[in-house]
Each structure stands twice: as structure tokens, then as C-alpha cells.
Structure 1
Amino acid sequence: MYSQNNNNVSPLEIYSWEMLQARLNKAMLSLQYGNKPSEPRNRKRDKQPADPRLQLCTNETVMLSVFRYLTKNERLVAMRVCKAWERMAVHPSLWKSVNASHQRIESAQLTGVVRRLPETLDLNWSKIEKEHLSWLLTRLPQLRELHLQGQALEVVGQLYTIHCPPLRLLDISFTADLTDANINKLFSPPNCIRTFQSVLTTKMVDLKELHLAGTLIGDDGVLSIAKILPSLTYLDVKCCLNVTDLSVVFLSHPQTPISSNLVNLDMRGCHQLTYASFDYFPSLPSLRKLALYPCWNLPLKLLQHWGRRYGFVVNSDKILEKFK
């Protein structure tokens, strides 16, 4: 008889029907297929030598030299091959210039531009919000050329910040409602100057080329440019109907630094210019190209006569060009 008081004997294990069926299935599978012998842990797997062609395809130096011969669309296709090619296809050395003109700029485009870190960014006539441009300027310190034709005044106003990169070229042509007061503020030193900066200068102090075609600036705006931008060599104010002979006086004045550095001057379509302005153009010693045609008060024959007197010739584009 089995004694209930015997503590040395453990109670019998009672299995349910599901547990018995699971054990039976496991045993049947083991008999049918057999157990796969496990490999020893200390055994090292034989490594096959890597294909040298595969190593070349993932070498950044080699692939960058190949990607330079691809077009923009071909690079976008190459980015879909693998993660290594996606990273190399957006290398900044391949994207010195990014053209996003006539497009609607969304978050995806902003991220793509920042990944490429271009030196030249073309946003002419694109639909971009002022917050987006401000976000871009703070993340593109290497940017040197910026094209913003046809943008709203509030978008162009985002350049008035300490985060604006030191541009060499700026094109804000055909900006609506851009007046002399806006020009003076845009190129003035920003208010939020850091404490360790000893000289309060504008972020545009090294600007070489400025395009203001089709805006509402006048003589006061040109005077501000002549005072604030001493390194300017190219000034484009064509179709600015408020520009008069007084602007030429400001640009050629010997006390303004721009007078000795200005090389190209485009004043086509400034119909308030008269023959009196010709007395001041010779005071620009570095001037090599002067565009004045068409202007209502300056016929082409008059330009040719003045050009022969001061060593200029009218080229095929009707631009006065200095003799070499």
C-alpha cells in the first residue's frame, strides 16, 4: 500500500492531453528527420576571400571619381543601389551647385539641400517660406552664391541675421516692394551681434556681385550700397526706374571704397540717366564693362562717341567694353 505519510516520495506528475500530444509530435519529428548535429563552438568558419570588384564599388575615392561624370538624374538613380552609394552620391564635392528654381520647396527638398552642402544655391522664382529660408541659412555656412529672384520681401528679409553666411554673390532681382529703406536695413549690421565680436560689420562685407534689377531702389539705395559694400565689383541695377545721375555721382565719388573696385556696372533701362552722367564714369578707374543701352536719353551713337574718347568699344550686345 502506498503510504500518504511517506515524505520521501514525490507526488506523481499529471500531464494534460495537450502536453502529451506535444511530446508525441516532438518525438515523431525527431525519428522522421533526425536531429541536426550542432557545430562545435570553437570551430571557426572558413572566410571566403572578398571579391576585389566589390571592394572597388564601395571605395569612396574610386566611386566619387566615377560619380563626377554622372548627371543629376543618374546620381539620383545610383542612390537607390545601396546605402554606401546613397551616402557617396550626396557628397558635397559632387554638388557645388544646387538648382531648385521654379519649384515648391518642401521639407524633403530642404533636407536634401542641407545634406549636399552646396556653395551655390539657385532659388529663383521658387515657392519657399521665410521660415524655410531662415532654416537653410543657419545650416549652410559654406554657401557663397545665393539666387533669390522673384521672392517676396519677407523672404529676402531673412538675410538680415547673424546666421547669414558670408556671401560673394547675391541676386535679389525683381523683389516686390524692395525700396531704399529695405536696402539700408538689409546690408546693415544685424542687431543680435555676439559679445566677442569687436567690429560690428555686416555679414555682406565681402560681397562681390549684387543684382537688384527690376526693384524700386533709387539714389539713396545706391548710396547705401556704395558705403556699406566696399568689395563690390559687379553692380546690376537695370530697369530700376528711380535711379538717376546722382547714383553715378555716389558710385564714382573718391571717398567711397566702391569707386576703386567696381569693374562691371549694368544700368540698362534706367531711363532717368542723362548725358551728364558721362562726366563721372571716368572716375571709376577699374571699370571694364558699362551697360547703358537702352536708355531713353542715351542713344547708341552717343555711347559710341563717348566710348572712342575714353577707350571703350561697343560690343555685339551693345555694352561698352574697355580696350585690353
Structure 2
Amino acid sequence: MTESVNEKLWNAISLDGLVRKAQELEQRLQSSREEALFRTANLNSTTALWERKYNDHAVSDDKSYTLGAVNDSDSSRLDQLLADYQKLAVHATANHAEVKRLKQELAEKTYELDNLKGYFEYCELSKQKETTLVSSCIDDARETKEVSKAESKEDEMQDNVTKAFSVSPSDNSTEESTATVEKCDTIANAEPQPTYDTHGMALLKIFGYLTTWDVCVIQGVCKRWQKVAQHPSLWRHIEIKDVMIPVSSLYNMAQWCTATEKIHIQGIIPTPTLDDEELNAYVVRQKGSFEPALAIILRSSSATLRSIILDECNIMITQRVFWLISVHCPQLNELRYSSDEFPPTPAALWTLSIGCPNITSLHFPPVFASSFVAHFNDHCLASIADGWPYVRTLSIGSPSVSSEGLHFIVKQCQYLQHFCIMYCQQITESTVALLCKSGLRKIQTLTVMFTRISAKAVVYFIRNCRQLKRFELHLGYSDYFNEDPSEDTILKYKMIIKNFQDLLKYPDIQQVFKLKTNYN
């Protein structure tokens, strides 16, 4: 019995080793927290020193409030302070990611440890019960034998009676004791049943391959499935695409999103109109209908949420979502938003920058079929440049974006590494020279999509951006000609494409430049 229990327990996993690993994870978690606090303190002190230095030089200049009065030594000092500031910010972000990873690993190990503890306690309890039962059975058998022997001695004087009482009772007692001992051995050899739910763990593993909407649906199968489907590990990444989901489902979903890291909502299908409902009343009812439930989800996952993607959600998500994100998601790192009815505005972007200053990846792709795409203009780019000067990845696009708006971005966002320009106005060689002079020092990936640009401008980009690893250009006929295709315009378009293809003959340009054409 003892050997079988020990084999099943220790062959599965060493309980002591798991406890020690959990304790080590807790110590690493505490050390990471202390290091993050130390880095944050250094970051704040460096920021205060940089601002004080900047203000001293600004006050000393009576004519203008610029950095022009700062001498060379002070300028180098300011550059060094800014570099230290950025370095500390990177360390703080890395420590925060390490703390999050350790928390997740510790939660998984704690869950497994609890299951093993329950199994171990059950085995110990089973052994105690079986030992008590076997000892009691043996004691009963011994008492029965002693009673039979005493009765046989008392009846020795009577031969017939003694035989009757000495043979049959002793035989009966011996048989009963033997049967009792065999029964006890059978009970002792029986394998104990574990207390942890292996079936639930298997379901949790299977449910991990389902989509978010499928997990919502299968909760109605039974209570066991409902309990497993509400496990926080299944709600780390919420992905809802091209479905008609009721708002009530989002309210129910919010109570399980305590460890959500990414939310991706795309192509939500509106609910149908009610009987005898007018179009205006339907629009009023659907406008912003997802925002209250989405606000509850954001509030539940505010401590862990890092990425939000909202693509073409019709009228059910409006510009008000920027305010909700700024209130509930202070640790957000990535945001992607596109809407054909409610594109970003300067006021909405300014609100978002107040509550989410740590965003390093912003994507605002245009919905070109929308009539409101022109509302995203240079003022929006100015809000982005002022709100997120340390942004690393940026995607913007609109026919209203000019070279002036691009200059705002390049001048303010000196740490930009990945830049995507879509459906913007013409980019000339003089525009490229101004952009390269103002910034793009750390640019690594540059994508220009459906924007009129010359071959000389492409060469200037590649030759002057030293860290550029990939320049991707998407071109179409409509980028250069507004009228319907004719023999003359098609011939001109082919000549333009040939100019770009000739650039691939140069080895230094061929390694970086990627051309995609033949779009209608």
C-alpha cells in the first residue's frame, strides 16, 4: 500500500522540488519589483534634473525661449541626460515585463502545487483510515480467538459439551477472522482516487484552441464546462472577429478578464433592426452601444492589458473609446484603431496621450472608402508628435496629410524605428531632404503605400538613413492618374514603374528596396 501510493505521488512530480521552485519565483519576483522601483526613482530624478537644466537656460535668455542660448558643453550635458532618461525607461519597461512573466509562471506553478497537495493529503488520509481499519479487524479476530479458548477450557469437564463448544465455535471464529483479514487486505490494496480534477485540466487545455466567441458559447453545455471556460488563462487574448455578439455577452465576459493582455475586436456585425423601427432610431440605438461594456472589460484588465486593436467596428464604437482607454489603461503599449465613421481627431488623441503616455506602437490606418477619412489631418499628426515623443512604431494615412504633418512627426519623434505612410499627399525630393535633416536617425523600416513619390526621393531616403534596413513601396495606377486608364496613361505609368525597377540594379539599393506594383 505505502509503496503504491509513493510511486503514484513521486513519479508524477516531486512536491518538495515544486515548492522550492515556487519560493524561488517569489524571491525573483520581489527582486524584480525592487529593481523596477529603483529604476523608476532614477528615471524621475533624471527627468527633474533635465527639466531644471532646461529651465535655467531658458530663463537666462531674455530674447527667446529656446535652446539656442545653451553652449556646447551644456548641450552635450543635456544630450547625455536625455540618453540616460531613455536608458532608464527601457530598463523600467524590461523589469515590468519580467515581473509580469514571473507572476504568470508563479500562478501556473501554484495551481499545479495545490492539485498535488490535495492528492498528497488524500493519500495520507486514506492510509490512516486503512491502517485503523486493519488494526481494528485484527484486534477483533484476536479477541474472538481468546474467548473461544476460554470457553473450551471451562467445558473440559464435560466431554460431549466440550467437543460441541470447542470444535464448532473455534472453527467458526477462525473462519470469521480469516475472512475479516482477507477483507482488510482487499481494502488496503485498493488504489486511492486523486482529488485534483484531471478532466477539468484536459478541458482547459482543449478550450485553449478555441476562439473567444466559441468559449462564450460552450459555457451553456454544463456546469463543469462553464467553470472551466471561466478560467482567467482562457481570457488572456480576447479576439472577436466578424460576428454578431450581444452586448450582454460583453458584460458577462468582463468578470473573467482579470488577466487579459490583448483585446482584438474587428468587423462587429450590428444587431438587426426591431419591428417597425426607423433608420434614425436604429442608428441612435446602435451608436456607441459597445462602449459601456468595453469600459468594464478595460477596467477589469487595467493592470495587465498591453495591446488594443479596434478595426472597423461600424458605429458601435466611436471616438469616445479613446477617453475610456486613457482612463482605464495606463500601462497600454500598443493601440490600433480604424473606423469608417469615427476617425481619430486631435482632441481624442490629446485625451489618449494624457492617460496612456507609455504607448510605443500606434497604428491609425485609413479606411479609404469612407468619406470621413480626410478628417485625419496634420493637426492629428501634431497631437501624436506632442503626446508620444518616444513612439517606436507608427502607421498613419490620409489624403489630408501633407509634408508639413510628416515633418511634425519626424522632428518630435526622434526614436522612431518603424514608419508606415499610407494614402498621403505627394512626397518630393525636397520633402525627403527636410525629413532626413530633421530626424529619421534611428529609422529601420520605412513603408510608403499608395502615395505619389519619385525615384530620386527613394534614393535620397536610402542613402541618408544609415540604419534603414527595409524600404517597401506599394504603387498603383490611381496614385498618379485620376482618369480612367488609356493607352497614353498606361504607357506613362509603365515608364514610372520602370524608373523604380532600374533602382534595383544598384547592389546597395537592392538590399533595402522592395517594390510592389500592378494595383488597380
TM-score, normalised via structure 1 length:
0.64
**SS at structure 2 position matched to 1:311:** helix
Structure 1 stretch displaced more, 307-316 or 95-104? 307-316
> Any conservation in 2 of the 1:238–1:267 contact (CA below 8 Å)?
yes
- Structure 1 partner of 2:457: 277
| Separation (CA, whole Å) in 2 of partners of 1:155 and 1:107 | 21
1:158 equivalenced with 2:348 (yes/no): yes
Instruction: Give, as a single letter, the amino acid of the residue that structure 2 aligns with 1:277.
Output: A
Instruction: Give, as a single letter, the amino acid of the residue that structure 2 aligns with 1:183.
Output: L
**SS at structure 2 position matched to 1:134:** helix
| Separation (CA, whole Å) in 2 of partners of 1:52 and 1:184 | 63
> Any conservation in 2 of the 1:120–1:143 contact (CA below 8 Å)?
yes
> Any conservation in 2 of the 1:123–1:148 contact (CA below 8 Å)?
yes
> Any conservation in 1 of the 2:470–2:513 contact (CA below 8 Å)?
no
Give the RMSD, CA atoms, in angstroms.
3.6
Equivalenced residues, count: 253
> Any conservation in 2 of the 1:78–1:86 contact (CA below 8 Å)?
no
For residues 171-190 of structure 1, the aligned pairs below 5 Å read 171-174=363-366, 175-188=373-386
Instruction: Give, as a single letter, the amino acid of the residue that structure 2 aligns with 1:121.
Output: I
Instruction: Give, as a single letter, the amino acid of the residue that structure 1 aligns with 2:358.
Output: P
> Any conservation in 2 of the 1:114–1:136 contact (CA below 8 Å)?
no
Structure 1 residues 113 and 89, CA gap change in structure 2 (3 angstroms): farther
**SS at structure 2 position matched to 1:212:** strand
> Any conservation in 2 of the 1:149–1:172 contact (CA below 8 Å)?
yes
For residues 125-164 of structure 1, the aligned pairs below 5 Å read 125-126=312-313, 127=315, 128-150=317-339, 152-153=342-343, 157-161=347-351, 162-164=354-356
Structure 1 residues 64 and 285, CA gap change in structure 2 (3 angstroms): farther
- Structure 2 partner of 1:88: 232
**SS at structure 2 position matched to 1:99:** strand
C-alpha deviation, 1:217, in angstroms: 1.0
Structure 1 residues 316 and 159, CA gap change in structure 2 (3 angstroms): closer
- Structure 2 partner of 1:206: 390
Instruction: Give, as a single letter, the amino acid of the residue that structure 2 aligns with 1:101.
Output: Q
Structure 1 residues 70 and 150, CA gap change in structure 2 (3 angstroms): closer
1:97 equivalenced with 2:226 (yes/no): no
> Residue deviations 1:137-173, cap 9 Å, x none?
3212332221112353455642313102522221112
| Separation (CA, whole Å) in 1 of partners of 2:509 and 2:364 | 29
1:221 equivalenced with 2:418 (yes/no): no
**SS at structure 1 position matched to 2:331:** coil
Corresponding residue to 1:122 among 300, 304, 309: 309
Residue ranges of structure 2 left out of the alignment (5+ in a row): 1-124, 127-191, 239-259, 269-288, 367-372, 481-492
**SS at structure 2 position matched to 1:123:** strand
Structure 1 residues 110 and 101, CA gap change in structure 2 (3 angstroms): farther
> Residue deviations 1:55-112, cap 9 Å, x none?
55778xx987665444323432465644575252565378543221223634224323
**SS at structure 2 position matched to 1:318:** strand
- Structure 2 partner of 1:72: 212
> Any conservation in 1 of the 2:212–2:235 contact (CA below 8 Å)?
no
> Any conservation in 1 of the 2:470–2:514 contact (CA below 8 Å)?
no
> Any conservation in 2 of the 1:304–1:313 contact (CA below 8 Å)?
no
**SS at structure 1 position matched to 2:449:** coil
1:302 equivalenced with 2:499 (yes/no): yes
> Any conservation in 2 of the 1:178–1:216 contact (CA below 8 Å)?
yes
Instruction: Give, as a single letter, the amino acid of the residue that structure 1 aligns with 2:365.
Output: S
Higher relative contact order (CA 8 A, sep 6+): 1
Give the number of the structure whose residues are more often helix, by fraction.
2
| Separation (CA, whole Å) in 1 of partners of 2:400 and 2:464 | 26
Residue ranges of structure 1 left out of the alignment (5+ in a row): 1-47, 189-201
> Any conservation in 1 of the 2:349–2:380 contact (CA below 8 Å)?
no
**SS at structure 2 position matched to 1:143:** coil
| Separation (CA, whole Å) in 1 of partners of 2:468 and 2:512 | 15
The percentage of counterpart residues that share the same residue type is 16
> Residue deviations 1:290-309, cap 9 Å, x none?
23342648823322322332
TM-score, normalised via structure 2 length:
0.42
C-alpha deviation, 1:261, in angstroms: 1.1
| Separation (CA, whole Å) in 2 of partners of 1:83 and 1:155 | 42
C-alpha deviation, 1:264, in angstroms: 1.7
Structure 1 residues 108 and 64, CA gap change in structure 2 (3 angstroms): same
| Separation (CA, whole Å) in 2 of partners of 1:313 and 1:55 | 59
